[in-house]
Structures are given as C-alpha cells and as structure tokens.
A and B are shown apart, each in its own frame.
Chain A
Amino acid sequence: MAVNVDPIHQFELKPLVSLGHIGSQEIAFTQSALYMFAAVGVIALITIAATASRSVVPGRMQSLAEIFYEFIADTLHQATGDGGKKFMPLVFSLFMFVLILNLFGMIPYAFAVTSHLIITFGLAALVIGVVIGYGVMKHGSHFFGLFVPSGVPKPLLAILVPIEIISFVSRPISLSVRLFANVLAGHIAMKIFAFFVAALLSAGAWSVLSPLPLALTIALTALEFLVAALQAYVFATLTAIYLNDALHPGH
C-alpha cells in the first residue's frame, strides 16, 4: 500500500548511466533522456519512415504525417503570414516533441518528461532566444520598437514601455510554466484519484464507494489526453505568435 502512495514519486529522475559531475550538477543519462530520444524516434518513424514511399495516395501513417504537417503549416501561416515559412521546422519540431512526450506520459508507469520545469523552460527559452536573435538580426534596433507602442503620447511611454518589457520577459515563463503545470497537475490528480480507488477497496465497507474515484480517474484520463494534445498545440501556436513579433516588430 505504502509503495506508490506518493503522487510525486512518478516525477523522479532515475539515472540509468551516471556520467559524473560538473560542480554540483550530476550528469547522467536518465529515463527522461531515454524518453526524449524515444520521442525523437517515434517522430522520425511517423514523419520519415512512413513517408519513405512518397506515395501520391498516402497510407495511414503517411496521412498522419501529412495531417500534422498541414496542421502546423496552417497554424504558422495564420500567425505569421508568408514570412514565417522558415520557422516551420522549429514549430513543427516543438509541436511534435511536446505532443509525443505528453502522450508518452499518458502510458501507465511511463515518465512524463514535460512535467519537469527545466525541460519546458529550455524549450521556451529556445523560442524566445530565436525571437530575439532573429528580430535583432533582421531588424536591428527596430526590433526594440516592439516595446514602444506607436501613437502614444510621450509621458505615457514612461509607463507603457516597462509594461511591454515585462510582458515580453514573462513570455518564456508563462510558456514554460503553462505546459509544466498542466502536465504535473494532471498526473498528480490522476495518481491521487487512482490511489483513492485502492484505498477505498481496502477499507472494508467503504469499498462500495470505490467506483466513484474510479469513474473520476477514467474521466481525468480522458481529460489528460485532451490536455496533452491541447498543450502541445498551445505551445506551437504561442511560438508562432511570438515569432510573428520577430518578423513584424511594428506595433
């Protein structure tokens, strides 16, 4: 009973191969890294192996790859227009990576890589880094016009510019925390309700109540599948919207 009660236990990193330390940091090939490479493998399977025949009339897996491609291409085009095409590999990779990792997390006993803030923050930082890097490279100092709303009287700018800067800086934080918190909270909730089922079953007469948390667990599982896909989509969409700022920094 006491073994898996802890709903946090599932988020622990288990080093498979320890590679030593850098300062206080432990460098190890963990199950998290294994899952990430497995996700890369699955994505490659869907998008590369399944399209190897280059059929004009696609099979199921090739259709799946095409659907993902067109979905992300549409999303990107709506957010950024024609100029955003060069970011297609980035947005597509982010979407597929987050989606597959989220779905991996839904497999019983599997590990949810996206439940670790540092992973989601790493991805969000990559997005913001690309936005700033591309914006400055393409538009130079004009890029920072992003923080200066046009048509606003000078005295107001003193207030508005800091607000704009804060909202820009909070983007990677909100982007990463949104995904992390959704996955984390969902997995904790599922774990707790599933635990209630076991706890009630072993509590004598109370066991008649056990179908209630079971039903909730099932409902939550369905919800978490939705969240898994939705958060991947939200991540990709927000990435596209932020990239639009790099492409068209005019306010």
Chain B
Amino acid sequence: MAQPNPLTHPSPNADTQLGAHTEHPAPHGAAFPPFETHTFLSQLIWLAIAFGLLYYLMDKIALPRIQAILHERSNRLSSDLDEAQRMKAEADTAGAAYEKSLSDAQAKARDIAQGTRNTLAAEAETKRKALEAELNQKLAASEATIRTRTTEAMGNVRGIAGETASAIVERLTGQAPDQTALDRALDRAVTAH
C-alpha cells in the first residue's frame, strides 16, 4: 500500500503531489487518489452531511417504524395463538360435554329398556300364573265331575247287576229271587271282588 501506483507510469513526483497545493488534482492519475489529502476535508464534510442525514432518517423514521411493524406482528401472532388456544379449549369442553350427554343418553336408554323388559316380564308372569290357577281350578273341577260320574256309574252298575241277576235267576228257575237274598249276594260279590 505504501507504493501507490504499482502498474501505472512511474511518477517520481507522486510523493510531492501528496498533499501538494496543486490546483488540478492529478488529471492523469499520476497521484493515488485515496491519498490526495487536499480532498479530505471536502469528503469529510459530505460524509458528515450524508451520514448525518442517514442517521436522522433511520433514527427518527425508519427504525421506529420497522420496530413497530415487527412488534405489531408479534403481538398479532401471539394474540392469534391465544385466540386459537382459547377456541381449542372451548372445542374440547364442547366435545367432552357431547361425549357426556351421549353416554348419559345411552345409560338412560339402557335403563328404559331394562325397565320395560322387567315390567313386561312381570306382567307376563302374573298372566301366566293367573292362567295356571284357572287351569288348575278347571282341572280340579273336571276331576271332581269325573269322580261323581264314576260313583254314579258304579251305583248304576249295582242296580243293573241286580236286575240282570234276577232276570237270569227267573229264566233259570222260573221264579223271581228274593230281594233280600239278591242284595246279600250282590254285597258278597262286591266285597269279594
């Protein structure tokens, strides 16, 4: 860096021009422009003005605005996230309530079905019992009837046997048997039997 012009025409007066009071600043690139000290003040002045303006614009307008935008965005994002969180919780509680009402309804339906089954079964049972009692009664009545008819019939059998016996005796002997002897004989037959 110390030797200014590596490739150009060797300029023996380059060093003397550095900081020299020349009115025409190296028109042919004889000196090394960044080291031409007579331009320094001018450059610094314009640098100060330009950079000062830039700093002012950034400090007062640009950066507060960008910061506000970013802040607003992160606020919006976090509030949106909170909102989403809240809505999700709401949906969860709604889902839980739905589940609960569903299971309640199922339990209720089960209860109703069970109750209905029970009452129906009880009704059927009582009906069945009533029917059975009636049938038993009818059965007993029928048995009683049969029994009376049998004794009745058995009574008739004795009469018929007596008549038949007297008729047989009359045909054989030509004489009606004595009623008392017949009764005695019938009694003997019945008891012997």
- In contact, B43 and A47 (Cβ under 8 angstroms): no
Q: Measuring CB to CB, which residues of chain B are less than 8 angstroms from any residue of chain A?
A: 1, 4-5, 7-8, 19, 21, 25-26, 29, 32-36, 38-48, 50-51, 53-55, 57-59, 61-63, 65-70, 72-73, 76
A36 to B42, CA, bound (A): 13
Determine which of B34, B42, B65 lies in contact with A11 in the assembled complex, contact meaning CB atoms within 8 Å.
B34
Total A-B contacts with CB atoms under 8 angstroms apart: 151
CB of A34, distance to nearest CB on chain B (Å): 9
- In contact, B70 and A69 (Cβ under 8 angstroms): yes
- In contact, A69 and B66 (Cβ under 8 angstroms): yes
- A97 to chain B: which residues have CB within 8 Å? 50-51, 54
- A9 to chain B: which residues have CB within 8 Å? 29
A157 to B102, CA, bound (A): 83
Known interface pairs A8-B8, A8-B33, A92-B58. Does A69 touch B63 (Cβ–Cβ under 8 Å)?
yes
Per-residue B-contact encoding for A146-183, CB less than 8 Å = 1, 0 else: 00000000000000000000000000000000001100
By beta carbon, the residue of chain A nearest B70 is A66
- In contact, A25 and B50 (Cβ under 8 angstroms): no
Known interface pairs A40-B53, A93-B58. Does A65 touch B66 (Cβ–Cβ under 8 Å)?
yes
- In contact, A40 and B46 (Cβ under 8 angstroms): no
- A192 to chain B: which residues have CB within 8 Å? 7
Determine which of A28, A89, A119 lies in contact with B58 in the assembled complex, contact meaning CB atoms within 8 Å.
A89
- A70 to chain B: which residues have CB within 8 Å? 70
Instruction: Name A91-146 residues within 8 Å CB distance of B.
Output: 92-93, 96-97, 115-119, 122-123, 126
- In contact, B39 and A122 (Cβ under 8 angstroms): no
- In contact, A26 and B70 (Cβ under 8 angstroms): no
- A58 to chain B: which residues have CB within 8 Å? 69
Q: Does A22 contact B (CB under 8 A)?
A: yes
A96 to B34, CA, bound (A): 22
Q: Does A27 contact B (CB under 8 A)?
A: yes
- In contact, A54 and B65 (Cβ under 8 angstroms): yes
A80 to B63, CA, bound (A): 18
- B57 to chain A: which residues have CB within 8 Å? 40, 43-44, 47-48
- B32 to chain A: which residues have CB within 8 Å? 8, 11
- In contact, A51 and B69 (Cβ under 8 angstroms): yes
- In contact, B43 and A118 (Cβ under 8 angstroms): yes
A44 to B55, CA, bound (A): 10
Q: Measuring CB to CB, which residues of chain A are less than 8 angstroms from any residue of chain B?
A: 5-9, 11-13, 22, 24-30, 32-33, 36-37, 39-40, 43-44, 47-48, 51, 54-56, 58, 62, 65-66, 69-70, 88-90, 92-93, 96-97, 115-119, 122-123, 126, 180-181, 184, 192
A169 to B19, CA, bound (A): 24
Known interface pairs A6-B29, A93-B55. Does A44 touch B38 (Cβ–Cβ under 8 Å)?
no
Give the interface centre of B1, B36, B47 by most chain A CB atoms within 10 Å: B47
- A33 to chain B: which residues have CB within 8 Å? 42-43, 46, 50
- In contact, A88 and B63 (Cβ under 8 angstroms): yes
- In contact, B46 and A56 (Cβ under 8 angstroms): no
Give the interface centre of A37, A88, A116 by most chain B CB atoms within 10 Å: A116
Give the interface centre of B1, B29, B41, B58 by most chain A CB atoms within 10 Å: B58
CB of B66, distance to nearest CB on chain A (Å): 5
Known interface pairs A12-B33, A47-B58, A48-B57. Does A89 touch B41 (Cβ–Cβ under 8 Å)?
no
- In contact, A13 and B39 (Cβ under 8 angstroms): yes
- 23 pairs from A and B in contact (CB 8 Å cutoff): A5-B7, A6-B29, A7-B7, A24-B21, A25-B38, A26-B39, A37-B50, A43-B54, A44-B62, A47-B62, A51-B65, A70-B70, A88-B63, A89-B58, A90-B55, A92-B63, A93-B55, A96-B54, A96-B58, A97-B51, A97-B54, A119-B43, A122-B47
By beta carbon, the residue of chain A nearest B60 is A89
By beta carbon, the residue of chain A nearest B19 is A24
By beta carbon, the residue of chain B nearest A181 is B1
A55 to B25, CA, bound (A): 50
By beta carbon, the residue of chain B nearest A53 is B69
CB of B30, distance to nearest CB on chain A (Å): 9
- In contact, B44 and A54 (Cβ under 8 angstroms): no
Known interface pairs A39-B50, A66-B66. Does A89 touch B39 (Cβ–Cβ under 8 Å)?
no
